[in-house]
Amino acid sequence: MTQVTLHEYSTITATLSSDSLAVTPAEMHGLLSGMLCGGLDPALGNWAPMLYDYTNDGQGWPIQSKGLAATCVQQASEQLTGEDLDFELLLPADSQNLLDRGDALTEWVSAFIAGIGVVGVTSGVLSEDGKEVLADLAEIAQLGIDEDGDMEEQALLFEQVIEHVRVCAMTLHAELGLKPSNDEDSKPTLH
């Protein structure tokens, strides 16, 4: 498995903006991750029309932005199906303003929930744990950073929320997502 790396958040922002797409990198990654966690098979390539419908009124994306989205799909898929539990959210760097990071997390979570819905997952197919995870995410999507509060304390809490969101995504993927194929099972047995 090759490791796919994404460009820096600000570079992706600039590319999406220059292509006149009204979507942030967090929204793009959240939506695509939600689709994957909802059971989308990235190998089918049907993620692109869903992305276009949700973000650009069904119109295709320019090549460079579509390439970034394809990289997001590949990376998120590898992270979600890997054994390392290294799934990461695409958010501005830790060095960025906490308020901007908070806004990006809210965008990521809202788009993730939408991605789950875009692939047709309804609450009826979720286990009780899955419903609880989705409820947690819906609450997190409403959170914000208190500008008047202790920013150091909020930064620590923010990191905990990111970790919780990460675990929620992996939990939903474990329940609904495409499972990695086991090459041992696909090999014929010789007698």
**Residue-range domains of the chain with CATH:** 9-179 (1.20.120.740)
Q: How far is CA 173 from CA 40, 49, 57, 81, 108, in A?
A: 10, 21, 27, 8, 16
pLDDT of 189 reads 46
Q: What is the pLDDT of residues 55-82, one digit of tens each?
A: 999 999 999 999 999 999 999 999 999 8
Give φ, ψ of 180 to 5 degrees: -65, 140
- For the record, the structure tokens of 99 come out as 């308020």
DSSP symbol at 43: G
Q: What is the pLDDT of residues 142-179, one digit of tens each?
A: 988 888 888 889 999 999 999 999 999 999 999 998 87
Tell me which H or E stretch contains 34: helix 25-37
